[in-house]
Amino acid sequence: MLLIARLVDHGLPEAHLIPTLWIGLGPIGVGSLALVRLSMTASPVLGGYDSEVQVLLRLASLGVWGFGRCGSPRLWW
């Protein structure tokens, strides 16, 4: 949301500065993907609780993604 507002208000930066706009999405993507992968591979360790833990980890992943998408980007840094 912040990125789109910046691009609308100020236009595109110079070509060599464009990757710096997207660097903040890294922690969001890695964090949510790690939780999803953990939910898929942790079933041998969890025993009988694997389905409940999978649901909780996927909800946590959705929370991380949603917070990064709509929350304050300053809190990530």
Question: DSSP secondary-structure letter at 16?
Answer: G
Asked whether the predicted pLDDT for residue 51 surpasses 60, the reply is yes
**Whole-number Å distance between alpha carbons of 21 and 35:** 25
Least confident range of 23-27, 46-50, 72-76: 72-76
Q: What local confidence, expressed as pLDDT, does residue 75 receive? A: 58
**Whole-number Å distance between alpha carbons of 52 and 54:** 5
**pLDDT tens digits for range 1-47:** 677 777 788 888 888 887 877 777 777 888 888 888 888 887 777 77
Tracing tokens 């980890």 back to the chain, one arrives at 57
Take residue 43 and report the two structure tokens written for it.
């079933």
Query: Greater confidence, 70 or 8?
Result: 8
Three-class DSSP category at 30: helix
